[in-house]
Structures are given as C-alpha cells and as structure tokens.
C-alpha cells in the first residue's frame, strides 16, 4: 500500500526574510520547495501539500487598504485569493519536475467553532514587520491588534481558531487516489462556521494545525512540517541549547509542558505533531527543506527532528 505524507510549507518559506514578495521571489522559493517535495515522491510517498499565507494575506490586506476605489474584502476571501496565488506557483513548480497535470490545487474550506477562544485573543501574525512606533500608529488608525514577533519587529495579529473539519475531504481523497499531488487547505483553509459552512469567518487558520487535521482525516502515515531550522532546539538561545534528533511523542509532550516551545514559533508545530501521532499517525518530521527527504527516510546525524508515536501518549495541548 502506498504511504501518504502531508507536507506543511510556511508562507514564510515562499516569502523569505528580507524579501518583499515579488512574483520572481515567489517562483524561485516555490521551485526550491518543489525540489524537496519531489524527493519525498521519489522515495515512494503520495503527497498532499498544505501551505501557509501569513506574509501574503497580510500584504494583500495592505494593498486593499491603500485605495478607496476598490472595496476591501474580508480575511476569508483574502485567504481564498492566496490559495489561488500560492497554489498556482507551487503547482507550476511541481509540474516542471514531474510533468503537466501532476499537481492539483483544491480550493478548500475548513470549519471552525465561532465560539473558539482565539477570537477573543488574536495571535496569528500576518503581513510585514514594522517598528514599534509604526505598528502602534497603524493599530490606532486601522483598528489592528499588533504584537512583537520573534524579536524581528511588530506585526498585525488576527484570530486563529482551531480547524475542526474539512469541507472538501471527499474531493481531496478522490484526487489523491487518482494519482495527483494535491495542494489543499492553502493558508490553513478558508474558515467557515461549523454547522453553517456557507458563512465565512474573519480569521486565518494556522497551517500546521490544518496540515495535522488533513493528515488525520486521510489516515496519513507521516506529517512533515517544513521550517527554517534543521532541528527543533531545547533551551533556545542559552548556553544549554541542544538539538533534538529522533524522540518519542511522550518526550515531545514533556518538553512542551516544560515551556521549551513558544506559541509564536515552534509551539504550533509540536502541538500539530502530537495531535497527529495521538490519532494514529506514525511519524512527524520538523526540519528544513534540504533535509526533508533524508529525515523522513532514516533520521540520524545530519538530518532533522523525527517525532515517533509512543506506546502511551501524554495528555496533549489543544
């Protein structure tokens, strides 16, 4: 039986630090991501890609606010736009390597609970970085919530509720079974209200959580979370800093409970991995694009972090 891997690519992987998000930059970054994913396919895996959209959806919102001649659109529709934008560049890059029509981009909606606490506590960074004074000026002028992000400046933050379901899961399974690499739940998916999927919700869903949900619904064997670092680090930024190779889910849960993985950086990736493994997944990988296939295949020196399912799984964060 062919194994299935769900690969989560961050929006920051498609618009890198110091870049403005030009078309040429997006295409070049997508080509690098496609090469890494192609290595996974060559190793015999069926692949679904879930991508983020934090920089892109924030930039699109800024574009809309720069003019009064065109009516602004809500975040849910901006996510739909970035699904098409980023899905297109990723699909073209995959097809250049594997032939036309290999990749299929599926416009995807995810259900969320309108009562999710995330709506009262916005936390998802979108758009570019600003200095503290400029960020506060924009917050005052536009009604934004802004927060410091990873020591690199301040960004707008929006609600990021947990995804509870995937509206197009049947179509996703059909495309995967037909032999396509499927790009789905782009930008975490277009959020709609659970119980009323015709009602869009003003939020941006975390792509790692969405990828974990997709992997669970598909019964995938592996969840691959692509990031800027080769390995997950303990005691980050201290003299005790160390990198994690192969660990169990119980190890990861214990480190998470000890505060090693901040909510604004590695926390969502570890939480997504634990949820996937608790539901029956076999392996979660957190690593850089260059080490993706090697880490999936074997782990060990010179590869990324592998989190393997434990016989007994500790209590998991949401």
The pair of three-digit structure tokens given for residue 153, joined into one six-digit string: 């400046």
Residue 83 CA to its chain's centroid (Å): 12
Report, in this order, helix, strand and coil percent for the chain, each rounded to 5.
40, 25, 35
Active-site choice (10, 53, 188, 269): 269
Q: Given the DSSP bridges, would you call strands 154-158 and 145-148 parallel, antiparallel or unpaired?
A: antiparallel
Enumerate residues 6+ apart whose C-beta is below 8 A from 20: none
What three-state secondary structure class fits 306? strand
Contact 9, 181 (CB under 8 A): no
Tell me how far apart the alpha carbons of residues 224 and 52 are, in angstroms, rounded to a whole number.
14
CA distances from 118 to 46, 80, 106, 114, 252 (A): 33, 21, 26, 9, 24
Does 269 participate in catalysis according to the annotation?
yes
Strands of the 109-112 sheet, one edge to the other: 163-166, 109-112, 190-193, 196-200
The DSSP-derived string for 16-49 is -TT----HHHHHHHHHHHHHHHHHHHHTTEEEEE
C-alpha–C-alpha distance, residues 193 and 300, integer Å: 43
Catalytic residue among 21, 53, 59, 124: 124
Whether 12 is catalytic:
yes
Q: Which of 29, 188, 207, 299 is catalytic?
A: 207
**Known catalytic residue at 153:** no
- Report how far residue 77's alpha carbon sits from residue 55's, in angstroms, rounded to the nearest whole number: 15
Q: Which of 10, 11, 21, 281 is catalytic?
A: 11
CA distance 277 to 290: 24
Residues with catalytic function: 11-12, 124, 207, 269
């Amino acid at each position: 039986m062919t194994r299935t891997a769900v690969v989560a690519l961050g929006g920051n992987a498609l618009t890198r630090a110091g870049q403005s998000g030009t078309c040429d930059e997006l295409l070049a970054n997508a080509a690098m991501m496609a090469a890494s994913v192609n290595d996974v396919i060559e190793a015999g895996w069926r692949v679904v890609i879930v991508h983020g959209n934090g920089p892109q959806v924030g930039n699109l919102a800024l574009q809309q606010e720069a003019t009064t001649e065109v009516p602004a659109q809500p975040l849910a529709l901006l996510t739909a736009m970035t699904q098409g934008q980023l899905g297109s560049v990723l699909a073209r890059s995959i097809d250049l390597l594997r032939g036309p029509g290999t990749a299929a981009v599926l416009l995807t909606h995810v259900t969320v609970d309108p009562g999710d606490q995330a709506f009262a506590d916005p936390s998802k960074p979108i758009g570019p970085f600003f200095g503290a004074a400029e960020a506060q000026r924009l917050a005052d002028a536009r009604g934004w919530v802004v927060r410091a992000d990873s020591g690199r400046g301040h960004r707008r933050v929006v609600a990021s509720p947990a995804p509870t379901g995937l509206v197009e899961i049947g179509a996703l399974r059909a495309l995967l079974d037909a032999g396509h690499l499927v790009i789905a739940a782009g930008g975490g998916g277009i959020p709609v209200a659970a119980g009323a999927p015709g009602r869009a919700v003003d939020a941006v869903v975390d792509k790692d959580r969405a990828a974990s949900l997709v992997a669970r619904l598909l019964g995938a064997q592996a969840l691959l979370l692509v990031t800027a670092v080769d390995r997950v680090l303990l005691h980050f930024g201290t003299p005790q800093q160390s990198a994690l190779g192969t660990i169990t889910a119980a190890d990861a849960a214990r480190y998470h409970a000890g505060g090693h993985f901040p909510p604004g950086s590695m926390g969502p990736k570890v939480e997504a991995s634990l949820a996937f493994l608790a539901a029956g997944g076999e392996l979660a990988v957190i690593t850089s694009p260059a080490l993706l296939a090697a880490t999936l295949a074997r782990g060990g020196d010179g590869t990324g972090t592998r989190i393997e399912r434990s016989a007994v799984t500790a209590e998991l964060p949401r």
